[in-house]
Amino acid sequence: MAASVSSSQRVATGAWYLFLAVSAVALVKTELTAAKKADATPNIVFLLTDDQDVKLHSLEVQPKLKKYMLDEGLFFENAFVTHPVCCPSRSSTLTGKYTHNHHTYENNVGRGCNAPSWRELNEGKTMGAYMSTAGYNTGFFGKYLNNYAFPNTGVNVTHIPQGWDTWFGLVGNSRFYGYTVSNNGVAEHHGNDYEQDYFTDVIKRHAVGFIKNATSEDASKPFFMYIATPAPHRPATPAPQYAKMFSNMTAPRTPSYAFKPADKHWILSE
């Protein structure tokens, strides 16, 4: 379901990023403190969706997400984001830092997105690095930063960010077909076959495999898994079984729908 994104909708989307970022940092600190007291270390799964906008009512058509993440979890009704743009928000999610501290201001390398300066300043201070230091078996699956492994970043798919024992990172920005991933430092190219290549399902299979290995009888460490699907971010390519479910629906027309302020961020004026 494609729709223009208004400024208020971007803020709502950002609220999800902040909820996840703050929750992740709080969860890591709280769980580790509790584990020390109880002399037991918990396994942790961190799930990040992309452009999950409460004002577009997407949760109403995602009963599983609502059931397992909200009804059986926690929902912050009043939350704010440090930055509504993708790469700066992802940087805050990974590090727990404000934008002026991680220095990622846009989605391009020149403004800090996966730039050499980002790696020097932040890569050793992400959830992955901290959890690895805490003794966890760490796994990353999905979208990392928008320009990951692009030539102008100074690294390629062989670069595995610090702290990740298992790495399955999407090269570049959101794609569901026709993409490349770094599979533990090796380029893996995918085409357009749903069964083999649909990205949401591919990272699901890898994530499930990671959990099975991490909880086997031979496993000696607790695990921390970070799974970041591009969905429902545009191009918002649905799996074929869902492609026609919402053909008769349109996005909510809020007061700011399709408003294009000329003096605001370029995303708002598209």
Please measure the distance between the N-terminal and C-terminal CA atoms of the chain and give it in whole angstroms.
17
Residue found under tokens 């570049």: 172
Residue 182 pairs in a beta bridge with 169, 187
* Catalytic-residue membership of 87: no
Among the listed residues 21, 48, 86, 131, the single catalytic one is: 86
Q: How far apart are CA 88 and CA 51, in angstroms?
A: 13
Residues contacting 147, CB < 8 A, separation 6+: 87, 107, 108, 109, 113, 114, 153, 172, 173
- Which of left, alpha, beta for 261 (phi over 0: left; psi -120 to 50: alpha)? beta
Which secondary structure element, helix H or strand E, spans residue 86, and what is its range? helix 86-95
Catalytic site residues?
86
